[in-house]
Structure 1
């Protein structure tokens, strides 16, 4: 199973993937973060930003006392106001191991070994990337597009993001990522920050080609809501159109959408047509996390998502 994404969205997907009990899990992670602890380490050490990689390692840590301790420690951030303030322990561990071992993948694999990981964490490409967006609404004339560079700036812009691209453009994919996609029987993309965690994957031509040529079940997991900033005001249909515009050659099999999203009959028809641009059918299922008090959270429930993945995969295999 190969899971593509970044941040909290990928974290939830990996928790779900574990419950599907696959033969192997490959977490394929974006590498454009430039904020917080990751951004500081990226600038000071000229390394791939470790934050999203750390979160994936925490999600895959073994579910025993040792693994739980490691997962908590990896995610722990130092307090105070000194030089360490805000740094995540896992980020420093990955950065330090990278210097000692001379290779970030070796460092990630060593952390995975220590934490009893259920899978392997792979950077999308083997170099830090930057995101640059074309943003409308930052000028008196709404038709004027302004460039905004950097993942944090793109995610928090008060304007509306129209398009993003990577710097450098069309980078080479990590060969281990292509191998993981080729060997997977299930591929997931999303959920996550659409322009800064999901779309970067499909801006790497080799990754799009590998997904499109794959015989695996290819799943796009849609966000539960639009995000303030980069996708503010986006409909479900708009998310799909934007993905298709950025990666017209991408093909997936199913789009998983939470059934509680308020979509009228005509809206569902439009969403199904948008999904068809990607070669996909839409699956409406309950995948939202709900508190004991019945409050819906803007977060996918790993157990619910795992059940949907298993169900869709079973139907897909039976129909082949």
Structure 2
């Protein structure tokens, strides 16, 4: 897809504007993908008026996977979820959020629709890409439609492939190492090593790099550790911007530390993996819910090894322990950004 140099959204009343007389908002760039990034954005839009999301582009499952395969486009699903999370909290924003998230299903039992399980927002985003021939401009126009309280950018403007080596045991009890390719498969594979992105020479989205460079804070996570968080550190140009930015970096730990990708890993081991893939990474603050960490001293020591202090904060939904509460997470972000 062409580099982003063409049409941008018109200046309409749908685009939020912060008055020049107001105190400047902290500039935040949030990196991730899927439900984790969506949760983070739902909280961040409550504490800053200057917010950019940079989204992974390796998804190959469901509606996104089909559109990627058939249209040769960046998978739109995670981008759609980020836009929906940033919608304006008005009837207009909520209605368009629900429309973007709506999935088609057949009204006739046993007769699947040609649109079966496609999300309307995915189709709308791909439509804008084809009309404008510009990945970033299409997302900006979609954001204007939702009156999004922030900007959504792809990590790269071409679809990427994530692969890694998975360790298992064969029928004779012998260890087996195999290469698993594709985000959908890798997310369910189990113990993962040597994760990488292809093509290796892919250029990052220029606007995404600029957003990292100009941020006051860069937020990593929450989200699937290997397939949503690490990709940002595996794309060379984006990785360089993260390592060189003057922004402070905040890592948000997952509430479920025993998901498929990280089954059996402790909270401290998550940070060790981060150092393994990005030894030079400098993290300032780690937000972690105390209910998810068994050995807090070991975790604080691991955080200190990447330069970070731990902010212990209860950030989960009261009735859904594995889901971040936007208001609680927003309060944690507000506390972090004060320093």
User: In 1, distance between residues paired with 2:249 and 2:135?
Assistant: 28
Q: Which residue of 2 aligns with 1:123?
A: 154
Does residue 186 of structure 2 align to residue 154 of structure 1? Answer: yes
Q: Match for residue 296 of structure 2?
A: 268
Superposed CA RMSD in Å reads 1.4
Residue number among 36, 46, 58 corresponding to 2:72 in the alignment: 46
Moved over 6 A (4+): none
Q: C-alpha deviations, 1:268-292, integer Å up to 9, x for none?
A: 222122222322122211111112x
Unaligned segments of structure 1, at least 5 residues: none
Q: Is 1:283 paired with 2:319? A: no
**1:240-281 deviation digits (Å, cap 9, x = unpaired):** 111111111221101111022242xxx222212222232212
Alignment of 1:168-187 (within 5 A): 168-169=199-200, 171-187=202-218
Alignment of 1:26-175 (within 5 A): 26-80=52-106, 81-139=112-170, 140=172, 143-157=175-189, 159-169=190-200, 171-175=202-206
The question of 1:308 aligning with 2:332 is answered yes
1:23 match: 49
Contact 1:208 1:249 in 2 (8 A): no
Please list every run of 5 or more consecutive structure 2 residues that lacks an aligned counterpart in the other structure: 1-27, 107-111
Match of 1:204 in 2: 235
> SS of the counterpart of 1:249?
coil
Give the TM-score, by structure 1 length.
Answer: 0.92
| Matched residue SS, 2:223 | coil
CA apart distance, 1:193 = 0.6
**Closer, same or farther in 2 for the Cα pair 1:229/1:138, shift >3 Å?**
farther
Question: For the Cα contact (< 8 Å) 1:170–1:203, is it kept in 2?
Answer: no
Q: Deviations over 1:131-166 (max 9, x none)?
A: 101100153555432100000000112x41123111
How many residues of Structure 1 are paired with residues of Structure 2 in the alignment?
Answer: 306
The DSSP-based 3-state class of the residue aligned with 2:291 is: coil
| TM-score in terms of structure 2 length | 0.87
SS of corresponding position for 1:311: helix
CA distance in 2, matches of 1:7, 1:76: 16
Of the three residues 207, 210, 223, the one matched with 1:192 is 223
Q: Pairwise mapping of residues 289-300 of structure 1 onto structure 2 (< 5 A)?
A: 289-291=317-319, 296-300=320-324
Residue pair 1:252, 1:278 contacting (<8 A) in 2 also: yes
